[in-house]
Amino acid sequence: MIIMTNVDPQQIWKKCHWLFFINVQGLIICLRRFELSLAADNLPQAQIELETATNLMLASGAAMELAGSFSRREYEHQVRPTMTPPYVESHNFSGLMSWEHAALIEIWKRLRPVFETMPAALASQHDRFVAAYFSLSKAHKAVCQKFGGGEMGSLRCDQSTATHMLDKFTQNRWQLIDPNHRAATGCPFHH
């Protein structure tokens, strides 16, 4: 068993976020290929793309979990300050500003009608895709909560708690990827 000592929280944060964004880039590619496969009426290929997208979403959630593998004190003193000026140009730094986020939301908006009328042959894989999104969302919220997001706003918005904002984002994204709320298993809003 390898025991890590003197691990730099800043490096953990950065590298795990790099992994997260690489997985999101792969997710975008898979969803575009999913879209093309459906347009070509190639359901077996669409199934493969949606399955791969599901796995990439799960990997993104794992990267997010790993990003939070240090103490709140280390986050507050070593990591959070590097996401504010003068280290970044913006006073409201956020992953929402990334091109990956914009591209993913764009394709989810385009796919919303497809997700609404999902072919029966893809329904169970779509359910797993939605569950993977909720898994990612829960991982993101857990990291945020660990670092005080349930008590204060994010770098982008201090009008409400960061975890409250993440819940709103999850609701909005859920509307895009499961407009019929058919695949509600694992949804944090169903109790």
* pLDDT score of 59 more than 90: yes
Going from the C-alpha of 38 to that of each of 32, 85, 104, 118, 130, the distances in angstroms are 10, 45, 18, 10, 18
Q: Could you tell me the CA-to-CA distances from 4 to 7, 63, 70, 182 in Å, in that order?
A: 7, 18, 12, 43
pLDDT, one tens digit per residue, over 46-56 is 999 999 999 99
At 191, the pLDDT band (50, 70, 90 cuts) reads: very low
Given a cut of 50, whether residue 44 has pLDDT beyond it is yes
Per-residue pLDDT of 61-114, as tens digits, reads 999 999 999 999 999 999 988 877 787 676 655 566 678 888 999 999 999 999
**Which pLDDT value is given to residue 115?**
96
Q: Give the HSE-up count for residue 67: Cα atoms under 13 Å, Cβ half-sphere.
A: 26
pLDDT, position 3:
47
Question: If you average pLDDT over residues 144-164, what whole number do you get?
Answer: 72
